[in-house]
Amino acid sequence: MTKSRYKALVCAECETSFDTNQLQSFCPNCKQPLVAIYDLRNPPLKFTDFSWSRDSMWYYREFLPILDEKNIITLGEGLTKIISLSKISKRLDLKHEFFMKDEGTNPTGSFKARGMSAAISKARELGVWHCCTPTAGNAGSALAAYCAKADMQSSIFMPQLTPEMFRFDCELMGARVVKVDGSIRDAGLEMQKQNLEMKAWDVSTMKEPFRLEGKKTMGYEIAAQFNYQLPDYIFYPTGGGTGLIGIWKAFEEMQEMGWLDEISTRMVAVQMTGCAPVVEAFEARADVSKGVEDPAPTAANGLRVPKAFGDKMILKAIYKSKGFAISVQENEMLAALNRTAREEGLFLSPEGAALIAAVEKCLSNGVIEKESRILIINTGTGYKYAENLW
């Protein structure tokens, strides 16, 4: 049995330590996320027997925060494949394969499964019985599924413009769903109001520390799948930023353990022009985003986040990696979604399609070179968005 190396929970800003045996959300002083720290002394040899017969992301449980394995709630999430977008690569005249990690094959159809598997497992370990979250869709589906498996109640708050499919599968799995006018910010405000009475455990993006840990496993998998020769660029569709921060955290942990000599990947945050707070902050070389007052509706629901709670950490990872942030227009994203379906036979999530549009833009204006090894993260399946796409 492999023991978790989890040892501390500290504020990302002031590094104050918090009791790991109690439920913790964010640092009450800094209003910044808490980050799990592991004892990485005497590390194991780097994982090279990356076998697809292993059942889930819990292959990496040594680097996840669950102390007692019997608390792990899994639906077989993670260990996703990397697909070669060979026809797009050829059309764009790329000198290497164009890689896509397909998170659309996760339970409930998105990489939110990784985060919720970790968060709900930890919540169970600490005695929670009712969880809540605001969501653009996928986080809600994942929360409903893991809570069902864990015999917990779930309450989910989603913007009115979310495709009905998401409400349907949440309710199918026993969740209570509330639809709210406005963006995910408004859904969050309504949830906080109701939660004064409901008293559910709030697993909002980055306000709960362990969804980050689940999403971090993408970074471990990418390193192994690339034989520890990381790609030059990772394009990531950035809403709350958990995946981007998580992949970067994994790389840093692996460097600390000597699994990676250097971290050569540049992290690229992609957003929609109608809601691009991270891009605006990056262009001003700011360390925090101002936030967007009136986020434009988009089919890429997961990117309609006017101000990410973890924005400082997103920007820090971008700067540290010498990466950048870029936005694409709705019509560019939709064109990429259509083209990718016809060319590659893949029905990407709109968020994933935005990455294809961003890569094409970066190649055409020379921001990245044709010789680059590029990896994009298709964060979800497009099938659940059909209602908003046809």
Ligand X SMILES: *Cc1c(COP(=O)(O)O)cnc(C)c1O
Distance CA 5, CA 324 (A): 32
Binding test (CB under 6 A) with ligand X, winner from 106, 155, 349, 388: 349
Instruction: Tell me the closest approach of the beta carbon of residue 300 to ligand X, in angstroms.
Output: 7
Contacts with ligand X, 160-199, as mask; x by CB under 6 A: ----------------------------------------
Distance CA 139, CA 266 (A): 26
Burial 199-223 (b: 16+ CB within 10 A, else e): ebbbbbbbbbbbbbbbbbbbbbbbb
φ and ψ at residue 329, rounded to 5 degrees: -85, 160
Asked if residues 248 and 12 have their Cβ atoms less than 8 Å apart, the reply is no
Residue 237, interface with ligand X (CB under 6 A)?
Answer: yes
Nearest CA to 337 out of 320, 316, 351 is that of: 351
Residue 238, interface with ligand X (CB under 6 A)?
Answer: yes
Distance CA 55, CA 77 (A): 8
Per CB under 6 A, the segment of 70-78, 189-197, 239-247, 336-344 that binds ligand X is 239-247
Question: Number of residues in contact with ligand X, rule: CB under 6 A?
Answer: 17
Q: How many CA atoms lie within 13 A of 5 on its CB side?
A: 15
Question: DSSP label at 136?
Answer: S
What secondary structure does DSSP assign to 246-278, as a single string? HHHHHHHHHHHTTS-S---PEEEEEEETTB-HH
CB count in 10 Å sphere of residue 294: 9
Per CB under 6 A, the segment of 237-245, 286-294, 331-339, 358-366 that binds ligand X is 237-245
Binding test (CB under 6 A) with ligand X, winner from 78, 243, 295, 382: 243
Task: For ligand X, give the closer residue by CB, 74 or 138.
Answer: 138
Binding test (CB under 6 A) with ligand X, winner from 351, 355, 361, 368: 351
Instruction: Tell me the closest approach of the beta carbon of residue 10 to ligand X, in angstroms.
Output: 21
Per CB under 6 A, the segment of 46-54, 236-244, 274-282, 289-297 that binds ligand X is 236-244
Residue 106, interface with ligand X (CB under 6 A)?
Answer: no
Contacts with ligand X, 266-295, as mask; x by CB under 6 A: ------------------------------
Per CB under 6 A, the segment of 21-29, 125-133, 234-242, 271-279 that binds ligand X is 234-242
Question: DSSP label at 347?
Answer: -
Assign 76 to helix, strand or coil. coil
φ and ψ at residue 265, rounded to 5 degrees: -85, 135
Report which residue's Cβ sits closest to ligand X. Answer: 302
Residue 302, interface with ligand X (CB under 6 A)?
Answer: yes
Task: For ligand X, give the closer residue by CB, 131 or 257.
Answer: 131
Cα angle at 125 between 200 and 153, to 5 degrees?
35
Dig out the tokens for 163 from the structure: 């495709």
Binding test (CB under 6 A) with ligand X, winner from 56, 242, 271, 321: 242
Token look-up 């995946």 returns: 243
Task: For ligand X, give the closer residue by CB, 65 or 352.
Answer: 352
Residue 107, interface with ligand X (CB under 6 A)?
Answer: no
Contacts with ligand X, residue ranges (CB under 6 A): 110, 112, 138-139, 205, 237-243, 302, 349, 351, 379-380
